[in-house]
Each structure stands twice: as structure tokens, then as C-alpha cells.
Amino acid sequence: MFKNFKLILHSLREHKVYAILTPVLMILESACECALPIIMARFISLIQDYQQTETIDFVQFGIQAGIFISVAIVSLIAGFLGSKTSAKASVGLAQNLRLDVFKKIESFSFANIDRFSTSSLVTRLTTDVTNTFMTFNIGIRVVVKAPLMLVFSTVLSFVMGGRMAWIFIAVIPLVCLAFFLMIKYATRIFNRVFKRYDKLNESIQENVAAIRVVKNFVRENYEVKKMARATDDVRDDFKKAEIIVSFASPMMSLSINLVNILVCGIGAWIAYETKGVEINVPQLSSLLTYGVQILMALLMVTIILGMLSMSLESMRRICEVLREESTIKNPKNPVMQLKNGAVQFNRVTFKYSEKAKRNALDEINLDIKSGQYIGIIGSTGSGKTSLINLISRLYDISTGELIVGGHSVDRYDLRTLRDNVAVVLQKNVLFSGTIAENLRWGDLNATDDELLAAAKIAQADEFIQQFPEKYNTYIEQGGTNVSGGQRQRLCIARALLKKPKILILDDSTSAVDTKTDALIRKALKTQLPETTKIVIAQRTSSICDADQIIVMDNGHIDQIGTHEELLKTNKIYQEVYHTQNKASQQEGGGI
């Protein structure tokens, strides 16, 4: 727990001064609040003297009034400034903490990201940070003020009330035990509720992303009921926790009333028996005030412990992300230049985790010359995407050697490697912004002419010119206002602007018609002769003119050859080719 606190507090940075000032101001406020009952007791003594002698010392009365007002003002100012500094410190902590967690996530490898679900990471960046911020905001005030109030008030109650103060000593353990039990049971529930939050966010994210599918299958009612069940689970857990925590207020009221009854009853009896020698009215008044302060200090401690019980799990989840080390790191003295697009796999095996029972890739031997056009084909799960993910070092190989541009892939500076290896996925993403802004993800400083050239190679310029705003056309989040084929062509153009040594198209023309697909292939071969082009495809027509075609099967390379060679010797390729040609002929025949 303390290690988590320490790690969280690293995010204070420039806001440390406010975090230090707050406890100092709370000490001053606590001292003033504990001094006020003593001053008030002197007031009551002066009033009693007036009632007995019918004369009053106006000088003393004025002095006591001035002291009381001054101390009250100082307490007010210290409390106000403490609230202000704690707000600045806690808001600053939340800002830096979100940024630190986000930076950490951005540094993760794919293997790290696989450990956390997207919904869980979103919850950690939002709900968990908010819980931590709120606890810190109250905590840096209460964690100093409450113990000081408890100690000062207890000591001064003995000074003012003598043996009467033992009433508080007797009540305090009972109250603390009750609060401890409440927090213990509430913490168990809060730990469970955050896991439900993750599932709730996952459901929301999934439905928003797939809203068109939901509507097409008319599953709105089912999804609403599913969401209702998830929200009911969260509600029920929170209700149980809040019911337990809510007992704190009535328990505190009961404790205060009990203490007041005991102090007044026993105090009156002692005053009567000793004729006011051991305890008098001013002392009794101060004792009642100190009793309330002691119990209120316990209440403040309870509140912060209640919030802490909820936020401890949030802090643990945040620290879990902050402590996560990327499985892929830059080497010492990295290679800063990739000479060409040559790729060699030497007996490479790969699996996604050490606990995996089988390899995703097994004994891969492959030699790709710089500038070649390579096709990859195979059934779902055959290892095609796993193969190309290793080239840009999105994952590290398990065994063997992978050489890119003459050097082992793990010797390159990560930015250098990935700037020279452009990957276009089948389901690539466009971001909200104009077409030009999206394309410039490939090169922030690309000129309009370079945008035009890349778009023409990707066969995207034709449909872009049809938009009223052309390259300034706004793309909605996720590219929902363009078709799947248009989205794929824009992603290809974006990748081309990187001017990569290696261009990988992972089934990224699947939504494009065969004519446009052929035009893209022709443009890539003629206009990017020195760039190594690796194309994963489901259609044999997309790779039939490749220099070499790799047939993948169950994590192995089944065979490598040209289109003509594979048609003669490879059963997998023959089956795919004839099945697709038969379907094409049937479509052409009107069937």
C-alpha cells in the first residue's frame, strides 16, 4: 500500500509545494480550533464573576474578545487557504497522473496491451484517477488535521476536566472498533465493484463500436437488457457498500449524544459533590466542546478511511499500469539507419505468451530481397499476421533470428525501425479530422503535392476529388462517413507518405473491387520499385503477379513459389484458386 502511495505521489511534481503547504495550514487551523474552547471558558468565567459581583472588568473582557476574534479569523483564513492549496495539489496530481498513465500505455508493446483490456485501461484513466484525486484532496487535509485535533483535544480535555476526560478514552476504542469493521466489509465490496466497472465499460465500448451491427440484427432490446444487468450489478454492490458506510453518521451522532449525557450527568454530580472545586461550569463547557472535537476528528478519520477503502483498489490498478514494463525496449547503442528492405527469418519461432501451449509460428525460414513484391496467403489462424508483426517488432520473436536491412531487428532504434516499416491493416483506423490531416500522420510535413502523389498511387485521389471540400473533407471518428474501400485506400496513402523501406498490406484491399486492387498493385510495383512490398491477401488475384508467394498453414510455411509454380505443386493454393475461380465463373454466368 505504501509503495503504491509513493508511486502515485511521484506525479505531484510541480505541485509539491501546495501539497506541503496544506498540512502546515491544517496544523495552524487545528491549533486555533483547540484554543477557542479555552478562550470561551474564560468568557464564561468573566460572566460568572459579573453575576456574583455585578461588576465587570471591561479591559479583560475586551482582551478576551479580541483574542477570540483574532484566533477565529486566523482559523478561518488557514482553513480557506488549506482548502485552496489542497485543491491545487489534488487537481495537479490528477492531471499529471492521467498523463503518466497515458504515456505508459503509449510505451507498451502489443504483448503488454494484451494483458489489459481496452475497457480496463479506460476505467483506470477515468474512474480510478478520479477516486484517487478525491481521496488525496480530502486526505492531505484530514490526515494532519484529524490526528492533531484528536491529540490536542484529548490532552486539553484532561487539562480542563481532569478525570472526566476518561469518558472520552473509554468511548474512543468502541467507536474505532465499529468504524474498523465497517471499513473492512466495505473494502471487500469496493474491490469487487471495480471489476464490474471494467465489464460495464467493455459492454459500452463494444456496443458503441458495433452499433450498426446491433441495429442491422435488431438487437437493441437484448443489448439494453444486457446493459441493465451490468448496471444492476454495479448498483447492487455500491448500494451494499454505501449502506455499510452510511452507518458512520448515525453512529457518530449516537456517540456524541452519549458523551454529552455522560459528561453532563457525571460532571454535574462531581460539581455538586465538590461544590465546583474539581470542575465548574466553564470547564464543563470546554469539556463538552472537546468531546465533540474528539468525536468529529474520529469521524473525519472514518470518512478518509472510507474513501481510502474505495480508492486503494483504484490506486493498485493505476500502479499496476505504471509499474508495467514494456516487453520491447530500445537496445543500448541502437542502429539508427535501415539501409534497405531485405528481410530474413532464420528458424524463427514465436508464441504470444510464455504460458501458451503452442507456437503461433514455428521454424520459419524466409529470405526476402529488398524491393521484392511478396504475397502471403493462408487460412484464418495460419500465422500470416503474426509473421508480419515481427518485422516491425510489435512482438519479439521467441527463438531464432530475424534480420531486417542487414541487422537483427532487436538492434534497431524502435522509432527508426517503425518509420521505415509501414503497416496497413485490414481494419485500419482513421481519426477525426480532415483527409489531409489523416494522411499527414504518415509525414507531418508532407506537401500538398506529396499528398496528391500518395493518394494517386493508392487510387484514393479520384473519390477525394468528388467531395466538395476535397482534401479538406472532414472525416468522422473512425472514418464512419466514408466506405470501407475508401477507408482502406486512405490508409494505404497514409502509409505511403512515410516513404518506407518495407510496405506491409495486411489484407488491406479486401473491401476494394478487383479493378481498383489491380490498379493499386500496378502503381506500387512501378512507382515504388525499391520498396519491399509484402501483401497478405485472401484473393489469389491480389498476389498472382507477386515475385514470390508464401503459403502459410498452421504456423508453418507450407511452400514458397510463384503463382504458376504453386498452381502445379501446392494443394492449399490450388484449392483456394479453383474455389475462387469457380465462384467467379458462376457469378459471371448469372448464378
CB 558 within 8 A of CB 570: yes
pLDDT for res 402: 93
Rounded to whole angstroms, the Cα distance separating 159 from 153 reads 10
- Joined together, the cell numbers standing for residue 191 give 474491490
CB 90 within 8 A of CB 8: no
For residue 469, which phi and psi values (nearest 5 degrees)?
Answer: -95, 0
Dump the DSSP string for 166-189.
HHHHHHHHHHHHHHHHHHHHHHHH
- Joined together, the cell numbers standing for residue 262 give 455522560
Closest CA to 62 of 48, 42, 32, 76: 42
Closest CA to 304 of 419, 137, 109, 542: 137
For residue 45, give the amino acid letter. Answer: S
pLDDT for res 403: 93
- Joined together, the cell numbers standing for residue 352 give 504470444
Q: Cite the DSSP H helix spans in 210-247.
A: 211-216, 220-246
**pLDDT tens-digit profile of 323-358?**
888 888 888 888 898 888 999 999 999 988 777 788
pLDDT for res 194: 67
Rounded to whole angstroms, the Cα distance separating 396 from 464 reads 38
For residue 330, give the amino acid letter. Answer: N
Residue 5 C-beta-side C-alpha neighbours within 13 Å: 7
pLDDT for res 345: 93
Closest CA to 518 of 499, 543, 536: 543
For residue 221, which phi and psi values (nearest 5 degrees)?
Answer: -65, -40
Bridge partner list, 288 = none
Rounded to whole angstroms, the Cα distance separating 108 from 232 reads 34
Closest CA to 162 of 36, 68, 253, 274: 274
For residue 444, which phi and psi values (nearest 5 degrees)?
Answer: -60, -30
pLDDT for res 591: 37
Rounded to whole angstroms, the Cα distance separating 402 from 396 reads 9
Bridge partner list, 556 = 553
Which residue spans within 395-526 are E strands per DSSP?
399-404, 407-408, 421-424, 433-434, 474-475, 502-506
Q: Cite the DSSP H helix spans in 324-466.
A: 384-391, 414-420, 435-439, 448-457, 461-464
CB 482 within 8 A of CB 386: no
Phi-psi region of 109 (alpha: psi -120 to 50; beta: other; left: phi over 0): beta
CB 89 within 8 A of CB 12: yes
Under 8 Å CB-to-CB from 6, ≥6 apart: which residues? none
pLDDT for res 589: 47
Largest CA distance in the chain: 124
Rounded to whole angstroms, the Cα distance separating 174 from 294 reads 13
Let me know how many helices (H) and strands (E) the chain has, helices first.
20, 12
Per-residue pLDDT of the chain (591 residues; tens, 9 = 90+): 778 888 888 888 888 899 889 888 988 888 888 777 777 767 666 666 655 666 666 677 778 778 888 888 998 998 899 889 988 998 899 889 999 989 888 888 877 777 777 777 888 888 888 888 888 888 888 777 777 777 777 777 777 666 777 777 777 777 777 777 776 777 677 667 766 776 777 777 667 666 767 666 677 777 778 777 777 777 777 777 777 766 666 776 777 777 777 777 777 777 667 665 666 666 677 777 777 777 777 777 766 766 776 677 788 888 888 888 888 888 888 889 888 899 999 999 998 877 778 888 988 899 999 999 999 998 888 888 889 889 988 888 889 999 999 899 989 998 899 889 988 876 777 888 898 998 998 888 889 899 999 999 989 888 899 988 888 998 887 777 788 888 888 989 999 998 899 999 988 877 788 888 888 888 988 888 889 999 998 888 888 888 999 999 888 998 999 999 898 888 888 888 888 776 555 545 443
CB 185 within 8 A of CB 192: no
- Joined together, the cell numbers standing for residue 250 give 448515525
Confidence (pTM): 0.67
Rounded to whole angstroms, the Cα distance separating 522 from 415 reads 30
Rounded to whole angstroms, the Cα distance separating 528 from 144 reads 68
Under 8 Å CB-to-CB from 373, ≥6 apart: which residues? 521, 524, 525, 533, 535, 545, 546, 547
**pLDDT tens-digit profile of 171-205?**
777 777 777 777 677 767 766 776 677 677 777 76
